[in-house]
Amino acid sequence: MTTRTILLPSPRAFCAGVERAVEIVERLLADQGSPIYVRKQIVHNLHVVDDLQSRGAVFVDELDEVPPSATVVFSAHGVAPAVRAEAVRRGLDVVDATCPLVTKVHAQARRYAAAGDTVILIGHADHEEVEGTMGEVPEQTVLVETVDDVTGLTVSDPDRIAYLTQTTLSVDETTVIVEALRSKFPSLRGPAVADICYATSNRQAALSAVVHEADIVLVVGSENSSNSRRLVELALRNGTPARLIDDADELQPEWLDGAQVIGITAGASAPPRLVDEVVRRIASLGPVEIIERAVAVEDMTFTLPLSVRQPASTEVGRGN
C-alpha cells in the first residue's frame, strides 16, 4: 500500500484568546462549583462547549435566563454595552472572557466615533463579535460584508470615515474590501495594525504554505467558527478540495480516495487533540508520513481577569 503524506501546517488549533476564555470557565467551575452561566458559546467549538457543559457550565442565549446574583461569563467574542448594562441592572457577577484583541476593536470604535467619524465595520452580520462591536456606537457604525456593499455605500461626511474589521476574517478578502473603501473614500482612516488577529492571520498563512501541495485539506472546526470556515474557503480559492469537520468521526474515507497528500489544520477555537485524532484515524487506513510545516511560532499570552487568578504564591510558572 502506498504511503500517504500528511502535511500539518503550524500554527493551528487553539490560540491564546481561546485558551484564556476556556481557562476562565474551568477555574470558575473549580473554585465555585456548578452552575457557572456563560452567555452564548464561550468559543465556537462543539467539543469545548460539550466538555464544559458536562462539568457544570450552563450556556444561555440571553441574560434573562441567568438567576439574579449568579455568576455569568461573557464569551470570547465580546458583548455590546447594552448587555453589560443589563448585567448590572440584574445584579449579576460578571466575569469577562472577551478576547483582548476584540476589546481593542471596541475601543477603536469608540475613539473613531468620538472624533466624529462614521465607522465602517467589515464583518459578518450574524457573528456575535460583530453584534458586540456594532453595539458600541450603533448610530455611527455601518456594516459592510462585501465589495458590493461598498458600491452602494453613502455616508454623511466622506471626509470623516474610518474602518474596523471583525478579527476572524479572510485576510485576502478583507484587503480587497479595504481597497474598495479607500478608492471610494480617499480620506478613509483605519487602524495602524490590521484588526484581523494574529492567530487568524497565522493559520491562514500556514495553510497557504502547503495548500498547493495537498490533494485535499481537512479543517478541524465547528460550522459556526468563522476562522475555521475561512480556512476552508482559502483552500477552495486555491483549487484544493477541502472539508470542515468537527472531529475524526466525521471523516469519510472515500474523501481520501486518490489523495496522496492530505493537509490537516484547525481553526483557532479547536482543541489540538482533535487534530491528533484525525491524524490517527487516517493512519488507521494505511501507512502515513507526517510532515510538520511551521510558518510562525506563537508565544502570545493574555492575562486572566483578576477575579479568577489564583494568589501569586500558588501560581507555578505563571507571569503577572
Annotated ligand binding at 44? The verdict is: yes
Residues 6 or more apart whose CB falls under 8 angstroms from that of 257 comprise: none
Annotated ligand binding at 197? The verdict is: yes
Annotated ligand binding at 77? The verdict is: yes
Annotated ligand binding at 165? The verdict is: no
C-alpha cell belonging to residue 270: 479547536
The residues annotated with a catalytic role in the active site are 129
Rounded to 5 degrees, what angle do the CA atoms 53, 49, 138 make?
A: 115
Annotated ligand binding at 227? The verdict is: yes
- Residue 47 CB neighbour total at 10 angstroms: 16
End-to-end CA distance of the chain: 53
Annotated ligand binding at 269? The verdict is: yes
| Whole-number Å distance between alpha carbons of 247 and 245 | 6
Annotated ligand binding at 226? The verdict is: yes
Annotated ligand binding at 187? The verdict is: no
C-alpha closest to that of 18 among 87, 132, 102, 121: 102
- Residue 151 CB neighbour total at 10 angstroms: 9
Q: Are 63 and 92 a contacting pair, CB within 8 Å? A: yes
Annotated ligand binding at 106? The verdict is: no
Question: What are the binding residues for [4Fe-4S] cluster?
Answer: 15, 99, 197
- Residues belonging to the binding site are 15, 44, 77, 99, 127, 167, 197, 225-227, 269
- Residue list for the binding site for dimethylallyl diphosphate: 44, 77, 127, 225-227, 269
Question: Which amino acids are annotated as binding site for isopentenyl diphosphate, given as ranges?
Answer: 44, 77, 127, 225-227, 269
